[in-house]
Structure 1
């Protein structure tokens, strides 16, 4: 029987929650840690009439939390798991015909919806700990909302969290009621590390924080009774801190068990960390973020938070994911702090300052905004809709989603128009990342299913060997997994990887069986086309038997975008155009770095060139065979600076990788012209022979363009952009820049103008101007906004006003002495004659007494001689 004698805070909300779900069909519940939402509410709702005999499906984002919740609820009913309450997690399912409440983990709900979009067996979907915003939680909610909208109006949805802002979710659910509950937790006293934070130390010391953490753990154990829960970013840091504590001479640690808690442990090992230990011994649990929520580590009242979390970040720029260690957000820090007050008053040591805390992000970034979206894109395509048609709390970023779609096309999962292929449906059924699913499915044609499953299991786990000891060669990892080679790895991790491999093989066999049944019964024409393509692929790859590079061949199926060509000195060019390099460990060059080609299974995204972390070699012949449908032969015509002529080649390439190149004896005339034009654009217009007349014409056109925008712009960049119009036709028959230099730019620019434009320009922007002396003076248009002339002052006598260019731009006049030296610059002759002339006259008359210097310049006769003719 359900023990209701112990009151929990959410009990006060049960009636309101039942009414909300009955009337509105959906609800949002926020409840602080310890309120009992995870284990009390599903049991309280299991008898509601609107369930109509259907099940309650509750999504828990973490495996350990799902199993713990199911066990707790089953025990509360006095039953075993698998009766009224069951669970479905990776590699473990406990449900039966009487099961009403199913607790499932990431991906399971998505698989249920893909198999049965109407979810006929479910009456209520609960998404617990929704604040973690995992990719599958967002995807599951999007699919559930569409199922409810189109197929199941009676399907109820409940979203629960401890630290989430409920309003956006309520709005997404169509204005769902929001209910809130206080938690049942004890006070927790918080201590901040006012010195150097663990994050600062981590960044400065290449991740080494174990000494600082170990010292804080020992200090906390001395000050307080009880067990300690220590939050660390990953397994590497957990092991380092554990080693530091085990090597310590601190007497207190002799009565303390140091245990680990992370996702890579076997279930029984995780249970050991969570369950009570011997009464006479204390316990320190070194954990990842796995222990943040929905899991109570018994007896813990001390939390030590490093303030670090490890997450995968996807770069749309490079198309790659990288593991990044970041500072926790405020909501995650509060979740961790709350672990200390679940059973009694506690303390929390935060390894950062109170000032630094004020600058932390309020909430963690949803995975949908920073993760690889290939699995999501495949699920959406399998669902049969577009990503824009679904309802999202945060819309998937367009750049990342488009890259995911392009990857799925490379993996044969999507057609060119984005529709899912038959192979794509098989990928979705595999229940793993599309990359790994593609590799395993294609390995069937070489009878290498077992090897592919081993590789997939290795690649989805963290690296089992240290790169500094074993290098980056994936072959070393595979040998270690198979009990060969000279390296050793953690026995428990090896066992876990083997379990995953067996699970993959079982799923692969199931998909093959379903596929054979499906193929034998297909009758639709479009399906036959897919079948023929599949069969053709199988025949091609069956003929090409794997050689000594079989490992690289298989990995290239999973990572076709990460095939790389050797550039020497450990540097490679990736297919996607980015550079990469292999690090040198202990002065030793990696053997795989001598391969002409390799496939990078893992690399980072730091700096201008990625660092290759895991790879396998592959032959060029294998690349050509396996990826033949993605290899292109293109004609490349370009200007060869060494030969000083256009050269043409036929290049066979895979993305940015050039596999081979041969001379092309017959390039098209158009390609040659375009190559010359590209060379001109690279070198600039200065390579043309610009005569004085050509420069003046260009300057006059520029001036006219400013007066009338209908005239073409002759700005250098604009001319280069429009070179196809005014330059390209004149390149016909040329192959060398030396021939281009013989062109007359003045003629080319003049041809851009109509006859009417030329006539108008000659009138408004002339090459010369006739001054009062009768001389024709050239106009300088170097500054198109201030056209100018240089003329002897005496030749301007009698000119009462400043000449205008284009009817509105005053001509700037540089007045010269008889010796042609500047004496005055003006664009207002009238003012000059009235004021400045008389000062200038005094000076000039003293220096040039034989020349004519009248007192009335406007009435005087202009002359280009000493004195005007009588």
Structure 2
């Protein structure tokens, strides 16, 4: 070990002995420390000589590659060593470690691979989960697996969960662990919400506020944007304005020019003396350097952004949320925050994960603002209205991401389809998304029929690509592996095409741009609008994939017209699409969904496609990127996807069932011929027709409808009778039970008679239930006149009895049903059948209302009886006979 430099003082330094002491007696610890406290770099170093570690390795999971490199470099410098000795890092396609490495900073799936490859974690004494509040899927999975290892194989393994903004109490309960907090170091930060001006784009708004921040504050400015494209636009805009970028009064003078995006631009008249203020308050000669910071930069570009600015230079750092935590940006005194970030969102309707631009949480906004208060008082300018309310914290990725990678890892760990709950999750994976992921893995050949991982599935994990892309890579012929490496890199990156070319939905255009750039050794792509920086990043990823695939030579030139689609169909067998005969822009996907090309498509006329990117629409999805494929390759490579079946369906126009023999790939019909309808064909088609059209498609008699209403009413009044549910929803759900026996042998719905339907309904009640129904919810009541009058049953209300007043003479109390629980609603009618009164209190009517009714109606209906005493009068449904 080299000479260790004097350890700098960090806010977390006083807490380090407590951290060591806690881990000496407990195997788990929750550590809360705000950004800048030093937890990322000081905690691993403080634990290196802990007795319980016994010389073993510390592995720290860092969610971002930039932060992983920076943390490892900082710790190595503190030890006075080269990176890769005591401290090293491993990220995708890049490693700086040696046999002497004791602190290893890892990212993404590296920790999962360590645990899967060696569940005992030999030689590892502690795992630290940094920035756990970001709730990345890899961190949640790694923590669940590490807890399982600790519980079953390695009780001596130490686990530390560290975060800047964390629900520490909830995490501590989950881990059953003590909780320590560091106060951090921060200065007051002034919060402002400068509004956008009319007709001002988001980048113009940000550039204007950056100028304001430079004028009002000392030091450097950190601006947060959602992604690389927005950074590039803001960078170009600020570069155009570089000659007028201000500096505050009191800032030291710099050189003669201003470095903007790697080139010099004057900040004022060259004749002005160095350090002399100009009329607008700027110091002449001050340099303004504009740098970008995002995950797609090269290592050298990232190191440039993280390094301190030269003396006399002020910086504007345009960053994604990689700058929220973990990385140190010296000299920041002002933050300009768009409030936006780009996060993955899984759409179960399309099966795709799409990066969406979303508002950050309040916790993230506070972290961003805190960057301005690390070294002195600062200011944060938020580019959203103060009235907007943000979500308190970030949503865990596990509850909104596509889970095929997680499902494959669980299968490799031995977790079966019904055993995900066996692991201890902070937030368990949603059951529906996990089931959908397992279906996809089975289709890709990664899981067998019992949900166990296959040999192909294990090779997918070793490769490290997503399951879809892993399936494509591992099924490709050897001569195509160089092209596969390019496809893996291109599929994982944003399109490098720009301008009009960016609108192309032909994925082959991206391949062509990469190959043209490569063949000209990065010298540009004539005739193609493409981002050279994006192509360089894609080329770096492609090199990594070539190493993993053991390919020594890169692909070049223009691939065969079907080569891209033929390779990627293994990744997206459910996205294989065939053009509709009637509409050249519309396709049917193997999954059964419809999809359309845009009007200005570059793929017009292609009979077969594999859709690589879709946007879900209300009806058909829009194909955003696709590649043509050769159907002969489809038959040769995916023979298990083809089937020949006899199918029956309902023909609405004919009102009858029809049968076909079909040859299909998934839901795509390749051949179809009509065949005679068999009884076993017709019945499913008839049931499907009723389910699709609803119960109104059946020939209901009035008696059958009344029976349903009576049963449903009595079910509510007397649930103890256990009457069947005859609601629309239940009848539609059970058509195969009650209706199918009466449809057997029929080929048309109109062959079902109303009497047969009534019998089917009546058969759902046994003898005792029918007796109870007739007794407690009768179809009619016999009134005092001796006549049977029908009861009308209304859902959710008492039954109604409409009867002429004269027929109820002598009846004192309102009739009741359901064992006396429900009074009947009486509609008392005049002799002409017109309503007189609606009541459930017949006694009250005779006592209070009848005298008035008699007085009003006796003269109008003189031939009908209107006795003074209705209690003793003879009930009748007839008029008095005429005099002789």
> Where in structure 2 are the equivalents of 1:88-107 lying within 5 Å?
88-107=90-109
CA deviation string 1:618-667 (max 9, x = no partner): 34444444333234444432321212221122344455444443323253
CA 1:24–1:813 in 2, change beyond 3 Å: closer, same or farther? closer
What is the rounded CA distance, in whole Å, between the counterparts of 2:136 and 2:572 in structure 1? 24
Of the three residues 557, 571, 576, the one matched with 1:558 is 571
Q: Which residue matches 2:424?
A: 391
> Is the 2:194–2:382 Cα contact (8 Å) retained in structure 1?
no
CA deviation string 1:477-499 (max 9, x = no partner): 00111117731423333233223
What is the rounded CA distance, in whole Å, between the counterparts of 1:851 and 1:498 in structure 2? 102
Q: Which residue matches 1:258?
A: 290
> Is the 1:316–1:399 Cα contact (8 Å) retained in structure 2?
no
Of the three residues 707, 728, 737, the one matched with 2:749 is 737
> Is the 2:189–2:372 Cα contact (8 Å) retained in structure 1?
no
CA 1:491–1:269 in 2, change beyond 3 Å: closer, same or farther? same
> Where in structure 2 are the equivalents of 1:68-467 lying within 5 Å?
68-176=70-178, 178-185=179-186, 187-196=187-196, 208-248=201-241, 250-252=243-245, 254=265, 255-356=287-388, 359-385=389-415, 386-444=419-477, 447-466=479-498
What is the rounded CA distance, in whole Å, between the counterparts of 1:759 and 1:64 in structure 2? 78
> Is the 1:581–1:610 Cα contact (8 Å) retained in structure 2?
yes
Of the three residues 782, 786, 795, the one matched with 2:799 is 786
CA deviation string 1:64-113 (max 9, x = no partner): 22222222222223221122222222232222232222222222222222
CA deviation string 1:532-577 (max 9, x = no partner): xxxxxxxxxxxxxx98423112222122233334453644444445
What is the rounded CA distance, in whole Å, between the counterparts of 2:862 and 2:21 in structure 1? 112
> Where in structure 2 are the equivalents of 1:724-803 lying within 5 Å?
724-741=736-753, 743=755, 745-746=757-758, 748-749=760-761, 776-781=787-792, 783=794, 785-788=798-801, 790=803, 793=806
Shift of 1:230: 1.6
TM-score (norm 1): 0.84
What is the rounded CA distance, in whole Å, between the counterparts of 2:711 and 2:36 in structure 1? 79
Going by fraction, where is helix more abundant, 1 or 2?
A: 1
CA 1:717–1:351 in 2, change beyond 3 Å: closer, same or farther? closer
CA deviation string 1:305-349 (max 9, x = no partner): 222111111234543212111222233223323333445554332
What is the rounded CA distance, in whole Å, between the counterparts of 2:96 and 2:430 in structure 1? 37
Shift of 1:381: 1.9
> Is the 1:861–1:868 Cα contact (8 Å) retained in structure 2?
no
Shift of 1:421: 0.9
CA deviation string 1:586-605 (max 9, x = no partner): xxx11224333322222345
CA 1:599–1:860 in 2, change beyond 3 Å: closer, same or farther? same
> Is the 1:787–1:812 Cα contact (8 Å) retained in structure 2?
yes
Q: Which residue matches 1:529?
A: none
Q: Which residue matches 1:31?
A: 33
CA 1:467–1:635 in 2, change beyond 3 Å: closer, same or farther? farther
Q: Which residue matches 1:663?
A: 674
Report SS of the residue matched to 1:325: strand
> Is the 2:815–2:824 Cα contact (8 Å) retained in structure 1?
yes
Q: Which residue matches 2:270?
A: none
What is the rounded CA distance, in whole Å, between the counterparts of 1:672 and 1:283 in structure 2? 75
Shift of 1:850: 6.2
CA 1:831–1:565 in 2, change beyond 3 Å: closer, same or farther? same
What is the rounded CA distance, in whole Å, between the counterparts of 2:338 and 2:409 in structure 1? 36
Which deviates more from structure 2 when the two are superposed, residues 391-400 or residues 592-601?
Answer: 592-601
Q: Which residue matches 1:52?
A: 54
TM-score (norm 2): 0.82
Extract unaligned runs of 5+ from structure 1. Answer: 512-545
CA deviation string 1:736-759 (max 9, x = no partner): 233225655555555556667767
Shift of 1:170: 3.2
Q: Which residue matches 1:520?
A: none
What is the rounded CA distance, in whole Å, between the counterparts of 1:828 and 1:333 in structure 2? 66
CA 1:783–1:547 in 2, change beyond 3 Å: closer, same or farther? same
> Is the 1:320–1:605 Cα contact (8 Å) retained in structure 2?
no
> Is the 2:410–2:420 Cα contact (8 Å) retained in structure 1?
yes
Report SS of the residue matched to 2:25: helix
> Where in structure 2 are the equivalents of 1:518-667 lying within 5 Å?
548-566=561-579, 568=583, 570-584=585-599, 589-605=600-616, 610-667=621-678
> Is the 2:350–2:614 Cα contact (8 Å) retained in structure 1?
no
Report SS of the residue matched to 1:594: coil
What is the rounded CA distance, in whole Å, between the counterparts of 2:48 and 2:212 in structure 1? 47
What is the rounded CA distance, in whole Å, between the counterparts of 1:137 and 1:861 in structure 2? 87
> Is the 2:804–2:831 Cα contact (8 Å) retained in structure 1?
no
What is the rounded CA distance, in whole Å, between the counterparts of 1:715 and 1:58 in structure 2? 59
> Is the 1:303–1:339 Cα contact (8 Å) retained in structure 2?
yes
CA 1:286–1:819 in 2, change beyond 3 Å: closer, same or farther? closer
What is the rounded CA distance, in whole Å, between the counterparts of 1:459 and 1:425 in structure 2? 22
CA deviation string 1:186-223 (max 9, x = no partner): x25324124249xxx9xx98xx4111111111222233
Q: Which residue matches 2:271?
A: none
Shift of 1:853: 6.2
> Is the 2:713–2:793 Cα contact (8 Å) retained in structure 1?
no
Which deviates more from structure 2 when the two are superposed, residues 275-284 or residues 833-842?
Answer: 833-842
CA deviation string 1:359-405 (max 9, x = no partner): 22232222222222222222222223343222222222222222222
> Is the 1:465–1:489 Cα contact (8 Å) retained in structure 2?
yes
CA deviation string 1:409-445 (max 9, x = no partner): 222111222211111110000112122111111113x
Report SS of the residue matched to 2:166: coil
> Is the 1:777–1:791 Cα contact (8 Å) retained in structure 2?
no
> Is the 1:214–1:241 Cα contact (8 Å) retained in structure 2?
yes
> Is the 2:742–2:756 Cα contact (8 Å) retained in structure 1?
no
Shift of 1:466: 3.2
Report SS of the residue matched to 1:779: strand
Which deviates more from structure 2 when the two are superposed, residues 72-81 or residues 336-345?
Answer: 336-345
> Is the 1:696–1:780 Cα contact (8 Å) retained in structure 2?
no
Shift of 1:232: 1.0
What's the RMSD between the two structures over aligned residues? 3.7
Report SS of the residue matched to 1:375: helix
Report SS of the residue matched to 2:440: helix
Shift of 1:124: 2.4
Of the three residues 2, 6, 9, the one matched with 1:7 is 9
> Is the 2:802–2:829 Cα contact (8 Å) retained in structure 1?
no
Report SS of the residue matched to 1:443: coil
Shift of 1:766: 6.9
CA 1:275–1:716 in 2, change beyond 3 Å: closer, same or farther? closer
What is the rounded CA distance, in whole Å, between the counterparts of 2:131 and 2:448 in structure 1? 36
Shift of 1:720: 4.6
Query: How many residues get paired?
Result: 817
Report SS of the residue matched to 2:447: coil
Shift of 1:475: 0.3
Shift of 1:241: 0.5
Shift of 1:146: 2.2
Which deviates more from structure 2 when the two are superposed, residues 165-174 or residues 320-329?
Answer: 165-174
> Is the 1:65–1:294 Cα contact (8 Å) retained in structure 2?
yes
* Residue 867 of structure 1 pairs with residue 877 of structure 2: no
* Residue 508 of structure 1 pairs with residue 540 of structure 2: no
> Is the 1:322–1:605 Cα contact (8 Å) retained in structure 2?
no
